[in-house]
A and B are shown apart, each in its own frame.
Chain A
């Protein structure tokens, strides 16, 4: 079946512009995560959606970052007024429920801010 789909796969933007990154999770998965990964580094948690609960936004690095999940499915991560330090791979993952289910990752969006 279809896995987690992210778009675009690559995005180059100028400093100061806004960007939107999209994640389409596996159908039926209630949990959705956004992570950021800089080159050669680990996974930096950004935000977590679980069903209809309020999202856990504790990992968002600044108020320039926001995310939505519409209808419990597709999610959009928005970065306003991008900065060069925002350059990274943004990974989305989904899982079947809130306890112990493995995460299924998308291929990520590589964001480059020039």
Chain B
């Protein structure tokens, strides 16, 4: 079945450095949703990308959908302690009865 590969599993950064997580698929993605889960919390929806090549920004966060709709990325500029958590991508797959196919998540860790 369809899989969404998300890398890296972890990223350690100094506060103020940038962070990027990538989601890739061998098949065409339908729509990508991004979620953030703070430590001890539950996933919270950030944004949805629908169109090929789409770029959306939320303050220091930039979300991109690849031209071929086979990859997506989330980039955070100048990380802050409030950015700590795990970032998940998910594809809304029509092939799976509209199930969300989740990436494994990337954990953002700020070095002390």
Identify the A interface with B (CB < 8 A).
Answer: 31, 33, 42-43, 45, 48, 50, 56, 91, 93, 98-100, 102-108
A100 and B97 contact, Cβ closer than 8 Å, known pairs A43-B43, A43-B102, A106-B42: no
Interface string of B41-72 (1 = CB under 8 A from A): 11111001010000000000000000000000
A48 and B97 contact, Cβ closer than 8 Å, known pairs A42-B88, A42-B104: yes
What are 9 of the A-B contact pairs (CB < 8 Å)? A43-B43, A48-B99, A50-B97, A56-B97, A99-B92, A103-B35, A105-B43, A106-B42, A107-B42
A108 and B42 contact, Cβ closer than 8 Å, known pairs A42-B104, A48-B97: yes
B99 and A45 contact, CB distance less than 8 A: yes
A98 and B102 contact, CB distance less than 8 A: no
Interface residues on B, range: 20 to 34
Interface residue? B85 (CB, 8 A): no
Q: Can you name the residue of chain B whose Cβ is closest to the Cβ of A48?
A: B99
Smallest Cβ distance from A24 to chain B, in angstroms?
15
Return the contact of A100 from the options B41, B44, B88, B92 (Cβ within 8 A). B92
Known contacts A43-B43, A99-B94, A99-B98; can you find 18 more A-B pairs with CB under 8 A? A42-B88, A42-B103, A42-B105, A45-B99, A45-B100, A45-B102, A91-B42, A98-B98, A100-B31, A100-B50, A102-B33, A103-B35, A103-B43, A103-B45, A104-B45, A105-B43, A106-B42, A108-B42
The answer for the CA separation of A69 and B97 in the assembled complex, in Å, is 18
- In the bound complex, residues from chain B placing their C-beta under 8 Å from that of A102 are 33, 45, 48
- In the bound complex, residues from chain A placing their C-beta under 8 Å from that of B48 are 100, 102
The answer for the CA separation of A76 and B45 in the assembled complex, in Å, is 24
Interface string of B22-49 (1 = CB under 8 A from A): 0000000001010100000111110010
- In the bound complex, residues from chain B placing their C-beta under 8 Å from that of A48 are 97, 99
Smallest Cβ distance from A34 to chain B, in angstroms?
12
B100 and A103 contact, CB distance less than 8 A: yes
The answer for the CA separation of A107 and B42 in the assembled complex, in Å, is 6
